[in-house]
Chains A and B, each alone.
Chain A
Amino acid sequence: MSQTALDPSATTGQPAAESAEPSPVASSDAAAASQAEVSQEIDEIAAEYAARGSAPAETMPRLDYPPYRSSILRHPTKDPHHADPETIELFAPVFGHQDVDPLEADLTIQHSGEPVGERILVTGRVLDGDGRPVAHQLVEIWQANSAGRYIHKRDQHPAPIDPNFTGVGRCLTDADGHYRFTTIKPGPYPWRNHFNAWRPAHIHFSLFGTDFTQRMITQMYFPGDPLFALDPIYQSIVDPQARERLVAAYDHDLTEHEWSTGYRWDIVLTGSQRTWMEPETDA
């Protein structure tokens, strides 16, 4: 069974979204459809998924998800081809303290002044599919500032740039797989997938495991965001339980008196294909 075969809107060899929806190849910048139209597409796909009953739950986003307009011409239409990982694919690149300065884990100290916004601590563990910690591995994050603005030339919407906030952080996990960032809570961000489209507040995460095959990039969200139901990127994970795995938990034990609020979010990679070997650089 393939991802494509599970997707009711896919037809082999065709750019998808030919079904009921108009303008299937609208550019992501066209902002053509209304939120109501996009929400209807989202709801139809969700209803089809719910109606499948006892089929195995989907754990990943669909690559072919027409409500996210820029996916239409960028998703493979053929099933991924099975490969058994060989040599290089059984290992991941190594990162070390020469690559990452410990200060890079604090996004609030990268400039001469304090960034504006709600200071937060985001921490958790990186685990593989068998629950083993991914130790001494690179975690990269990037995000908008508290006003929802990215430091990127293509983000030109009229929200202020914060001269004291870049929104980029890195760290290495510790021996137990823990990562920890101090940052500012990002604001919701407007985009042009459709008219008046807003992304829920999120932090992008880039992760490596012990194997090449575990490489992933994802987004962490904040609990209770009113934009979840409207967002085609979040909703591209059609299984409700699966997409909730992207939502951090507020944790008052991580909140510090008169300093910052705290969020906990654990990340599970897929299983390691290598049989478990001794930790390579463990202290």
Chain B
Amino acid sequence: MSPRPTLAPTPRQTVGPFYGYALPYAGGNELVPPGRPDAIRLHGRVLDGHGEPVPDAMLEIWQADADGRVPREAGSLRRDGFTFTGWGRTSTDNTGEYSFTTVRPGATGEGAAPFFALTVFARGLLNRLFTRAYLPDHPALATDALLGSLPTDRRETLVARPAADGLIFDVRLQGEQETVFLSYPGTEQAPHG
């Protein structure tokens, strides 16, 4: 249980339309160099409530390394090509597509299901959204607490799909197959906390 917050949180606001020259940066989506033997692509689309691509969304991923270790190294903004920092950022393109080059996260503990932690920002999205992209076909998916708390059709929105070059994970902001977005204790509106 977290300590009881004593200060009122500063409200959040949309990233707006014009972050593109400020937040994304060269190499932001390459957590590992694309040529590395164990490199994979994690890619997909961000879609709105009509199923239309969202061309001005920004995604960040944060993940364990291939051995399941939580990275504690700096250097994500100016990558040296060797240090795995576990964090990346990219924007969607005109077709709503995003792509990261990374490695599959390892399990962070005995029986834990590996996942990428994702943060989603967009024009029109007044607060950031959190979600998880789990590795598909992992034996620990069956016993994962979060997945187990969801109905089957909702659960599927959190599991990446295998692809020849890695993994596909679409983010649906709204609608029938709306992605499950997460609230952690104390992070959303006061009534949640």
Contacts and interface: CB of A to CB of B under 8 A. Distances in A.
Contacts of B43: none
A245 interface: yes
B186 interface: yes
A90 to B, nearest CB: 8
Given A154-B17, A204-B15, A273 B125 contact: no
Contact of B126 (A25, A56, A142, A236): A236
Contacts of B52: 73
A257 interface: no
B82 interface: no
Contacts of A237: 11, 13
A137 B79 CA distance: 17
Contact of B74 (A73, A98, A166, A215): A98
A76 B123 contact: no
Given A93-B76, A94-B72, A96-B75, A60 B149 contact: no
Interface stretch (A31-39, A108-116, A127-135, A174-182): A127-135
A271 B5 contact: yes
A23 to B, nearest CB: 14
Given A81-B183, A84-B184, A99 B123 contact: no
B15 A213 contact: no
Interface residues of B, number: 86
B74 A56 contact: no
B18 A155 contact: yes
A267 B86 CA distance: 26
Interface string B1-39: 011111111111111111111110000000000000000
A91 interface: yes
B181 A81 contact: yes
Contacts of B125: 63, 71, 74-75
A78 B154 CA distance: 11
Interface string B60-88: 10111000001111111110100001110
Contact of B190 (A57, A72, A75, A167): A57
Interface in A130-181: 130-131, 138, 140-142, 144, 150-152, 154-155, 166-168, 170
Given A89-B117, A219-B13, A270-B187, A81 B70 contact: no
B123 A91 contact: no
Contacts, number: 286
Given A81-B149, A215-B60, A218-B13, A271 B2 contact: yes
Contacts of B13: 61, 204, 217-219, 233-234, 236-237, 246
Interface string A75-92: 111101111111111011
B121 A217 contact: yes
Contacts of A144: 18
Interface string A50-78: 00000011111111010010111111111
Interface string A207-223: 00000111111110000
Nearest to B46: A74
B191 A6 contact: yes
Contacts of A97: 74
A123 interface: no
A40 interface: no
Which of B5, B13, B23, B183 counts the most chain A CB atoms within 10 A? B13
B11 A60 contact: yes
A54 B6 CA distance: 20
Contacts of A167: 21-22
Given A99-B76, A233-B14, A273-B186, 5 more contacts: A60-B11, A74-B124, A76-B173, A233-B126, A241-B8
Closest 8 pairs between A and B when the two form their complex, measured CB to CB: A96-B74, A70-B124, A129-B5, A142-B22, A93-B87, A87-B108, A80-B183, A74-B124
